[in-house]
Amino acid sequence: MCSCTVTRWIEDAPDGTETGEPTETAAPTETGDTQTGDSGGAPCPLPVPDHVTLESPVYGSNNVRFYVPHSGWALASLHASRQLAGLAREDIDLRLSPAWFFAVALETSFMGCSDQTPADPLDASNTYPRRTDSDLNGCLGLAEDLHLFDLCRLYPETLACTDDTHAQVISSDLQATTGRDNIEPGILATGFYALFSYAMLQWSSGAGLADPDAWLAAAADPYAVEKLMALAHRESAYSSLVRLSVQGCQDQAIEACWETRAPSRAALAQGVASHVAVLDAGVAAGSCYDRDLSAAEIEAYVAAIAPLFPDLDAAAAAAAGLAALETAVPGAEQVPFQQVADAVLDGIDTALPWTLRCPGSELTTAFGMGCPP
């Protein structure tokens, strides 16, 4: 990671600077065209979507058939969502479903940052396009001098923060050499940044909300949280577009306050909201990820996230996850995801040297404010 200092706040980038951004977006709906998933149509206890046809285009492609490429995506998105939900213990109501992390990845990279992404197991002709232009910052678009800079000053004792952390743990540029596409740690780091962005809604030089929970609970836009967190993720937690949303759009669609000024960012917000709506509706209809989770995949997940957390005892975390697998079905080497993933993550969490928390003292030092009330 660079040792540079930030000398100006990062505002919204010039409109349309990314290539191939979606320009047409369907409005979020409550139902989507779901395909029968691995759960056989039963409601999903673990809300990880799978095999759902999206209603909004992704990078200009219509009727994209969403699927979860492998268990690492499923575990990481569920893990990050669970960690955010756990902030309720601090009276912070930041809830982002696993679908949100997939939606951000779709809008950032078309989930195409890995050389090893397999085809849809139900249809080999269905694949995610490889987008090498996303490799520098990985599938979730985490920049070294933006996302990682702030995460490391807020969580210096939790996250790996060395000169090569971004290259080794976030970027997928070196995957041919390292064998790591860094999808799993990227998803977890995105959860950390969402919490930072949420706390920054209080910042007096930004949105200036005294109580983000209360403002968002009263917002007319049912996807206000998902849109604002996606916007902050793409633009930065300091984005003037976030401020405009809060200042004028509590009673209407969040993007109405800036869609003329930044149409591509409006498309981003609408796209993320649409994907979340359709994917979550798919979960409700039973289209969820439920392929078998194996012992090897649990060990691979822990190995993937371990470099992001230098104090993690990877062996203990993997052992705790494997113990949950053994408890669920004694003697089994693999168990359906929906049956066991929650217990596996519970086990891994017991071995983690951290629990996602609002960085109160660090926020005070950096920005002169505490955590949301």
Condensed to tens digits (0 to 9), the pLDDT of residues 283-332 reads 999 999 999 999 999 999 999 999 999 999 999 999 999 999 999 999 98
The more confident residue out of 254 and 24 is: 254
Check whether 19 has a pLDDT greater than 80.
no
pLDDT at 43: 75
- For the segment 341-356, what is each residue's pLDDT rounded down to a tens digit? 999 999 999 999 889 9
**Using CA atoms, how far apart are residues 201 and 206, in angstroms rounded to an integer?**
7
HSE-up of residue 219 (Cα within 13 Å, Cβ side): 26
Check whether 34 has a pLDDT greater than 50.
no
> What is residue 87's three-state secondary structure?
helix
- For the segment 157-179, what is each residue's pLDDT rounded down to a tens digit? 999 999 999 999 999 999 999 99
Residue with tokens 């230098």: 310
What's the N-to-C CA distance of the chain in angstroms? 32
Q: Residue 335 forms beta bridges with which residues?
A: 293
Check whether 3 has a pLDDT greater than 90.
no
For range 212-220, the mean pLDDT = 97
pTM to 2 decimals?
0.90
Q: Residue 44 forms beta bridges with which residues?
A: none
- Burial-class residue 254 by CB neighbours within 10 Å (0-12, 13-18, 19+): buried
pLDDT at 146: 96
The number of beta carbons lying within 10 Å of the beta carbon of residue 24 is 11
Q: Is 311 within 8 Å of 284 (Cβ atoms)?
A: no
Least confident of 30-34, 110-114, 149-153, 240-244: 30-34
In angstroms, what CA-CA distances link 328 with 36, 96, 322, 349?
A: 26, 27, 10, 17
**Amino acid at the residue 84:** L
Give the closest residue to 181 by CA, choosing from 111, 235, 106: 111
Check whether 4 has a pLDDT greater than 50.
no
Check whether 78 has a pLDDT greater than 60.
yes
Percentage of residues of the chain with pLDDT beyond 70: 89
Give the closest residue to 145 by CA, choosing from 180, 109, 170, 175: 170
> 373: pLDDT confidence band, cut at 50, 70 and 90?
confident
Say how many residues make up the chain.
373
Q: What is the DSSP letter of 163?
A: T
Give Rg (Cα) of the chain: 19
pLDDT at 38: 53
Check whether 13 has a pLDDT greater than 90.
no
Q: Residue 133 forms beta bridges with which residues?
A: none
> 41: pLDDT confidence band, cut at 50, 70 and 90?
low
pLDDT at 158: 95
pLDDT at 1: 42
Percentage of residues of the chain with pLDDT beyond 90: 87
pLDDT at 239: 94
> 40: pLDDT confidence band, cut at 50, 70 and 90?
low
Check whether 11 has a pLDDT greater than 50.
no
**Using CA atoms, how far apart are residues 137 and 139, in angstroms rounded to an integer?**
7
Average pLDDT of the chain, as a whole number: 90
Q: What angle do CA 263, 65, 85 make, to 5 degrees?
A: 70
Give the closest residue to 98 by CA, choosing from 83, 88, 116: 83
Check whether 18 has a pLDDT greater than 70.
no
Q: What share of the chain is helix, strand, coil (3-state, %, to 5)?
A: 50, 5, 45
> 151: pLDDT confidence band, cut at 50, 70 and 90?
very high
